[in-house]
Amino acid sequence: MPIRVQNELPAKEILEKENIFVMDENRAVHQDIRPLEILILNLMPKKEDTELQILRLLSNTPLQVNVTFMMVSSHESKNTSMSHLNKFYEYFDDVKDRYFDGMIITGAPIEFFDFEEVDFWEELTMIMDWGEKHVTSTMYQCWGAQAALYYFYGIKKHILPEKISGLFWHKVNDRKIPLVRGFDDYFLAPHSRHTEVNLEEIKATGKVTVLCESEKAGFLLGMSEDGRKVFIQGHPEYDRVTLDGEYQRDTAKGMDNVSMPENYYPDDDATQRPPLMWRSHSANFYLNWLNYYVYQITPYDMYGIPDLTKN
């Protein structure tokens, strides 16, 4: 898929070296097509890494996608330069009058805080409410999924005795649902978190369809309102070495509740290169979301779009 991004975004050059078709602004304006408008609220500290990971997975469809990156104004990023943020990111006030086909809200490494203690919680809830009327389908990832499940359904997160990190086997509950179409019955997916949203509590709401779950890692993927909200508690966007970087960082800090990522290093040897064993399902997941829950549903004319909460 041609991803349309700003000409000087650093991820653009990396993606082009991977033979991923990235369309710059100049070429995009000469194509007679309405691209899908995708808004990405990037809450991760190393924003450039997350940009690359998500853009890579958005590249597996023939649809043209125009990506807008957004950051919160109520929190100051300490791990990404202000020059990068000022050049490539928007604030909510900049986009609140627009409509988007899809939105992705990422995770954030703030699991030990209660949601209401997070400095940008009020702004985040405002964005989630805004998305109900301005976005066709929203994907909530990891902490973002936990935050949305809490805000919309009152499901609390729980601190784990030990961090869940690594690749875990998941089963698909119903392969006929388009979001998991093409998935194998069982597949590996990355998790990296100190907290969880309990699987049984999600099911008890009767409002979230649980699509993928793991005996050890619990809830992975679910959706509500026929895909208007998609929740994924894992990290399908992670690249080959992301878990390795987190493990090396946490062990260097001397954190007590961190163990080696499971099913990740060959022979559990952290000096060896981890094999990439989850990319195909991750790409399929993003493709299904874009096709069945964004492209097939969104109206052609995004301006004057009806209130989607009434559909």
Catalytically annotated residues: 142, 235, 237
SS (H, E, C) 265-283: CHHHCCCCCCCCCCHHHHH
Q: Cα-Cα-Cα-Cα dihedral of 201, 203, 208, 210, to 10°?
A: 120
User: How far is residue 31 from each of residues 9, 34, 99, 307, measured CA to CA in Å?
Assistant: 21, 8, 21, 29
Residue of 191, 292, 262 lying closest to 232 (CA atoms): 191
Three-state DSSP class for 293? helix
- Token pair, residue 273, equals 């290169």
Bridge pairing between strands 3-4 and 22-23 = parallel
